[in-house]
Amino acid sequence: MTRRRRAAVFLMVCGLTVCGLGAVAAGWLTWSMTRARPDDAGSLPAGVHRAVSGDAREASAPVRVHGPAGLDAAVVPVAARADGDLALPSDPRTGGWWSLGAQAGAPAGTVLIAGHVDSRRGGLGPFAALHETPVGADVTVTGADAEVRRYRVTARRTYRREKLPTDLFARTGPHRLALLTCAGPYDRGSGRYARNLVLYAAPRPGRLPRPGH
């Protein structure tokens, strides 16, 4: 082999080695990034919303929640167990509304609606759709009075399960909707997810007035 040719081959192999190392690095980085928690996005609803008249009579207990990506679930009122954990229905197809929080369409406070992301036997449930719901998406909450209230997602956050913000459990503050489910990583040993995904949504104006009002 001529010297020149040998140099060319040498360079080519160097190039291949570098590419190979690059592929290793890229593969590892991409994998660790996709395993990381979903990015936080958007900003929390703030300030006073004049979307509803400010009258408490406009509020009603949530009975249904609906959104894009397959979010569609009946909702029942729930309270916390002795350990402070919300006693959600075990069937992931039904969500729980913290009944000491704000009602849908209330003048203030957080409407907290949560659902299991999955169950062992049933697989992923409708609340898994929260993971696919982007900032800017519209979500509706139907009350016991059959009125549909619209909200727009303004923020996505994840928190460690033990570090869920306490102001999610509040009837004061700007009126907002908080939709919760679990987020990874999943611990097979304890059978629990380590984090919560929270979608914050602000009320959207333009609800149709009830007939006769």
Partner 1 sequence: MRRRLVSAAVVAVALSGISVPAAFAAGVSGQDETFLKGAHQGNLAEIAAGEDASKNATSACVKKVGAVLVRDHTKLDADVKTLAGKVDVTLPASPTAEQEKELAAVRAEAGSTAYDTAWLTAQETAHRKTLALIDQELEDGQNAEVVAAARTARPVVAMHLEMVRGGTCHEAEDAGTVGAGTGGHLAAADDSPATVGMVGTVTGGGLIAAGGAAWLLRTRRRPAGEN
For the segment 152-171, give every residue that binds partner 1 (CB under 8 A).
161-162, 164, 166, 169, 171
In which element (H, E) is residue 194 found?
strand 192-203
Question: Least Å distance between CB 160 and partner 1?
Answer: 10
Q: CA-CA distance, 202 to 150, in Å (whole number)? A: 9
CB 16, min distance to partner 1, A = 5
Question: What b/e string do you get for 100-134 counting C-beta neighbours within 10 Å, with b at 16 or more?
Answer: ebbbbbbbbbbbbbbbbbbeeeeeebbbbbbbebe
Asked if residue 67 lies in contact with residue 137, where contact means CB atoms within 8 angstroms, the answer is yes
- 54 near partner 1, rule: CB under 8 A: no
The binder of partner 1 chosen from 51, 52, 59, 141 (CB under 8 A): 59
Q: Does 56 sit near partner 1 (CB under 8 A)?
A: yes
Q: How many residues bind partner 1 (CB under 8 A)?
A: 81
Secondary structure class of 116 (helix, strand, coil): coil
- Residue of 2, 82, 206, 209 interacting with partner 1 (CB under 8 A): 82
State which of positions 83-142 bind partner 1 (CB under 8 A): 83-88, 92, 98-100, 103, 114-124, 127-128, 131
Cβ–Cβ under 8 Å, residues 61 and 104? yes
Candidates 45-53, 56-64, 149-157, 205-213: pick the segment binding partner 1 (CB under 8 A). 56-64
